[in-house]
Chains A and B, each alone.
Chain A
Amino acid sequence: MTVGSSAQQCRDGKAPPPGPIATAPGVEYLGSIATVGENGTVHRTPATAAELDPESAEWVRVLADTGPRREAALARLHEMLVRIARGEVQRRGLRLRITGAELDDLAYQAAADALLAITSKIGQFRGESRFTTWAYKFVVFGVSAKIARHFWQNPSVPLDAEDWDRLPDRFGFDPAQEAEWRDLLAALRRAVDQELTVRQRTVFVAIVLNDVPLDTLVIELASNRNAIYKTLFDARRKLRAALAANGYIGDDTLRSS
């Protein structure tokens, strides 16, 4: 189980987050060195256009151009983005309750949003990857955002529901072996109630109990992916510590009875 698609972790939008995440001294990029500031901001030396591969350099050049060449490039880019968006919604489609025209509409919206983002941020492209990979990232993020909004508008369960009977199933515990896990899940629920902050509990209940996609919860709570992930990340650490303190975890693994 991972966080958010079915359940697990995160990173806060506030000040310096604790632990090695915030204190990493630097991150090496393909053609430059990036450093991570105290607030988590990435600083780096931009690559120059001369460092771009020929195809990427051509994209940057024509998109910075004016007139028919730029229009032709935009049309070609849009066509590529629509193709990638369609592929992505189809890739995810089997797990979604979205079909047919709605999926295609979602792909077109994601491609249109991506094209807008790419043209407005073209100056930020540093050649650390191929241009098309950088561009496709926007359309993949766009598909994620559109799907999240779809589920926010059409929730399968109320986002604030709280049905603890779902907990065993959410982790795949066998009902026939309830005697073995009953105490563990009771301890987990106590820890959720006693150890987590109100915000952490809200996020845990939505993502773990209700299977609300993390990106959908982001919309519901008017937050961002990073902050929700961090909230759940901290909640997971607290819950693990509580189970360890009560003897359910030993030697870094859960102790089955």
Chain B
Amino acid sequence: MNGWSALDRFLRTDPRDVGCAQAMEMLHIYADLTAAGAPAEQRYPGIAAHLRACGPCGEDFEGLLAAVRGEAH
């Protein structure tokens, strides 16, 4: 990714973005759906938009998903 596209991504905001509070409240639900292979992104587009944009929430989601998947193996 070059500087132009990185800056473009940074400045781009998604009006569906639900913000951190709602994403954090529902993260366990979203993670279970994702781990089960269900279409979580289609079901909760606002959370998906947020997790794409917010570094800390995205990191927490990856961590929770890793925990859930690790437990299953």
Is A152 an interface residue, CB under 8 A from the partner? Answer: no
A136 located at the interface, meaning its Cβ lies under 8 Å from any Cβ of chain B in the complex:
yes
Q: Min CB distance, A251 to chain B, in Å?
A: 11
Main secondary structure of the interface of B (DSSP, over half): helix
Identity of the chain A residue whose Cβ is nearest the Cβ of B58 in the assembled complex: A2
A21, B2: Cβ atoms under 8 Å? no
Other-chain contact of B58, A5, A19, A143, A174 (Cβ < 8 Å): A5
Output the least CB separation between A239 and chain B (Å).
Answer: 6
Q: Is the CB of B44 within 8 A of A27?
A: yes
A164 at the interface (CB under 8 A from B): no
Known: A11-B19, A240-B13. A132 touches B71 (CB 8 A): yes
A91 to B63, Cβ gap below 8 A?
A: yes
Q: Once the chains bind, are B67 and A87 in contact (CB under 8 Å)? A: yes
Please report the C-alpha to C-alpha distance between residue A17 and residue B19 in the assembled complex, in whole angstroms. Answer: 10
Docked-complex contact B24 and A239, CB < 8 angstroms: no
User: For B4, B16, B31, B57, which residue has the most chain A Cβ atoms within 10 angstroms?
Assistant: B4
Indicate whether A181 reaches chain B with its CB closer than 8 angstroms.
yes
Most buried by B among A10, A133, A256: A133
Contact of A9 with B16 in the complex, beta carbons under 8 Å: no
- B6 adjacent to A42 (CB under 8 Å): no
CB distance from A70 to the nearest CB of B (A): 22
Cβ-defined contact, B32 with A174, below 8 A:
no
A133 touches B21 (CB 8 A): no
A100 CB to nearest B CB, Å: 20
A9/B54 contact (C-beta < 8 A), A21-B18, A36-B22 known = yes
The answer to whether A30 and B53 have CB atoms under 8 Å apart is no
Q: Is the CB of A141 within 8 A of B60?
A: yes
Name 5 A/B residue pairs within 8 A (Cβ), A-sorted.
A141-B60, A174-B2, A215-B56, A229-B20, A236-B12
